[in-house]
Chain A
């Protein structure tokens, strides 16, 4: 069942076109890995998808509602954001809030859920990412992997229909990547819909259901995970995969 239908997204920065007509469709339960070289526009795509950037053109259909991306209203944006969540490369936890308060803020403040109920949900979500015992810690006291897991709990708390991840493990020391990826794998198995920009080829291969490959602001190839890796059709896709495989062998 289609959850999200993005059509003809265009985005420029300073007269340089960064995204040149992106179409993307996301079904419920999809785990979409977005791959592509640095600078190809992956972050910009996710940011446009959550209205952190204003797009120049395009439409987005989400849960049956149609959004005209270049003239979307503030009210529509906030309605849309109540059903989506975003996980940032550098976590962006609220520095003045303890882990639990990071998770509950979107519930108690934005959605006016009682403090007690919010904390119950918050603790559930922290347990889910294995961070329950750190509920009272400030972000500064947590490792990168722990912070990112709290950020994932924060994303989960509001029960979104889709979570966007922008390179969630790229800022982490190698030994901390696994703990975050395994949380994401668990979410995928539970049927959470996710769009994940990543360089973790193993995640794309083994966890994601679909792969989208971007280059120079366009999606140049996409398909089911197995097919994409078994039989990449585009020349640039093959080059990219070769390069990544070589890096892994080193």
Chain B
């Protein structure tokens, strides 16, 4: 490896990390937080079978899961100004990622809520609890446990998808790599480098997921299942 490449990689690393702190991480954290809030509301509205709101929730999920993320980004950033709604690139990306991710997470949460045995809800009523108390103490904690692995996958997927925001001029990690490529003509090295940084963040998230799952496992039957699959792998 020549000194020039080393120099470029060194500069690249600094710029990519800076972009991660300024853009990629905030975009992921904000996007996922809003997505979870949206998802919880949409899932609980459906779980409680609230008329009209339930249908609105289904339509929202249908729209945002049924169209490509990149198209949604373009529509919001380049399309909306035509009807007088102009957003800066970063808030626009946060908005689109929240809505897009919210649709997927809503489905995850809804399935997880419905997986809590209805007998426990009835037992809650018979113990004198009301609907809100049952949700808070019995249903939601179990639903979160069930939803935790798929939600973790969603965060990791979203972290990587934030690279699409570069397409609407958001100066994220990927864009900072692209800029240096434009100047140095070293796509192999720089795109490898940015890929490694994404890999590093994904790995950190995976490790956090493992640790959290272990802590959440106390009452969970599935921990037994995973042990079983670990032991018997014949094929």
User: A residues within 8 Å of B by Cβ?
Assistant: 50, 52, 78, 81-82, 84-86, 88, 90, 92-97, 105-106, 109-111, 138-140, 151, 154-155, 158
Contact = CB atoms under 8 A, between A and B. Distances in A.
B1 to A, nearest CB: 54
Given A50-B126, A155-B126, 14 more contacts: A52-B125, A81-B126, A86-B122, A92-B122, A93-B123, A94-B137, A96-B145, A97-B138, A105-B127, A106-B128, A110-B129, A110-B130, A138-B219, A140-B219
Interface residues of B, number: 22
A110 B128 contact: yes
B220 interface: yes
B68 interface: no
A154 B127 contact: yes
B119 interface: yes
Given A96-B142, A105-B137, A139-B219, A82 B128 contact: yes
A78 B130 CA distance: 8
Contacts of A93: 120, 123
A151 B141 CA distance: 20
A106 B133 CA distance: 10
Q: What 10 A-B pairs have minimum CB-CB distances, sorted nearest first?
A: A106-B127, A110-B128, A92-B119, A86-B126, A92-B123, A138-B219, A96-B141, A110-B129, A106-B128, A82-B128
Nearest to B125: A81
> Is chain B's binding surface mostly helix, strand, loop or mixed?
helix
18 contacts: A78-B128, A82-B128, A84-B126, A86-B123, A86-B126, A88-B119, A92-B120, A93-B123, A95-B120, A96-B138, A97-B137, A97-B138, A105-B124, A106-B127, A110-B128, A138-B219, A140-B220, A151-B123
Contacts of B2: none
A106 B129 contact: yes
Interface in B93-142: 117, 119-120, 122-130, 133, 137-138, 141-142
Contacts, number: 72
Interface in B205-235: 218-221
Nearest to A158: B128
B133 A94 contact: no
Contacts of B124: 94, 105
B13 to A, nearest CB: 44
A139 B142 CA distance: 13
Nearest to A80: B128
A109 B219 contact: no
Interface of B: 117, 119-120, 122-130, 133, 137-138, 141-142, 145, 218-221
> Is chain A's binding surface mostly helix, strand, loop or mixed?
loop
Contacts of A138: 218-219
Nearest to B122: A52
B218 A94 contact: no
Contacts of A86: 122-123, 126
A95 B126 contact: no
A81 B124 CA distance: 11
B212 to A, nearest CB: 15
A106 B123 CA distance: 10
Contact of B122 (A88, A95, A139, A158): A88
A87 to B, nearest CB: 9
Contacts of A52: 122, 125-126
Contact of B123 (A78, A94, A140): A94
Contact of A94 (B128, B138, B220): B138
A96 B143 CA distance: 10
A81 B138 contact: no
Nearest to B221: A140
Contacts of B120: 92-95
A110 B127 contact: yes
Contacts of A158: 127-128
Contacts of A151: 123
Nearest to A95: B219
Given A138-B219, A140-B220, A95 B127 contact: no
A241 B95 CA distance: 69
Nearest to B121: A92
Nearest to B224: A140
A92 B119 CA distance: 5
